[in-house]
Amino acid sequence: MKTYLDCMSCFVRQALEAARMATKDERVQRKVLDSVMGRLSTLSFNATPPEIAQVVHGLVKEVTGDSDPYREIKKKQNQIALNLFPRIKEMVTGSDDRLLGAVKMAIAGNVIDLGVQDEVKDIEGSIYDAFSSDLTIDSYDEFREVLTHSNLVLYLGDNAGEIVFDKILIEELKMIKRMEIVFVVREKPIINDATMEDAQFVGMEELTTVLSNGSDAPATILSQCSQEVCGLFSRADMIIAKGQGNYESLNEEHRVFFLLKAKCPVIARDLAVNVGDMILKGQKV
**Average pLDDT of the segment spanning 130-137:** 88
Q: For residue 188, is it within any domain?
A: yes
Q: Are residues 46 and 187 in the same domain?
A: no
Q: 167 CB contacts (<8 Å, ≥6 apart)?
A: 85, 202, 203, 204, 207
* Residue 118 pLDDT greater than 60, yes or no: no
Q: Are 34 and 140 members of one domain?
A: no
Q: Report d(CA 155, CA 256) in Å as an integer.
A: 10
Instruction: Choose one of 47, 64, 81: the last residue of a domain.
Output: 64
Percent of the chain with pLDDT over 70: 96
Same domain, 136 and 116: yes
Reference 66, options 34, 12, 29; nearest CA is 29
pLDDT higher than threshold 60 for residue 285: no
End-to-end, the C-alpha distance of the chain in Å comes to 19
Same domain, 46 and 148: no
Point out the least confidently predicted range of 30-39, 109-118, 217-226. Answer: 109-118
Q: How many domains does the chain have?
A: 2
User: Are 84 and 103 members of one domain?
Assistant: yes
Among 41, 64, 87, where does a domain finish?
64
Ramachandran bin of 156, using left for φ above 0, alpha for ψ from -120 to 50, beta for the remaining angles: beta
Domain boundary among 64, 88, 108: 64
- Do both 60 and 162 map to the same domain? no
Is residue 50 a part of any domain in this protein?
Answer: yes
Task: Say if 1 falls within a structural domain.
Answer: no
Indicate the pLDDT class of residue 120, thresholds 50, 70 and 90: low
Domain shared by 98 and 232, yes or no: yes
Inside any domain, residue 241: yes
Tell me, yes or no, whether 119 and 37 share the same domain.
no
User: Residue 188: its pLDDT value, please?
Assistant: 96
pLDDT band at 283 (very low <50, low <70, confident <90, very high): confident
- pLDDT value of position 254: 87
Residue 130 has pLDDT above 80, yes or no: no
The residue type at 179: M
Whether residue 48 is found in the same domain as residue 78: no
Is 155 found in the same domain as 17? no
pLDDT in tens, 218-239: 999 999 999 999 999 999 999 9
Same domain, 12 and 112: no
Domain residues for the domain of 166 are 71-283
Residue 169 is assigned to a structural domain of this protein: yes
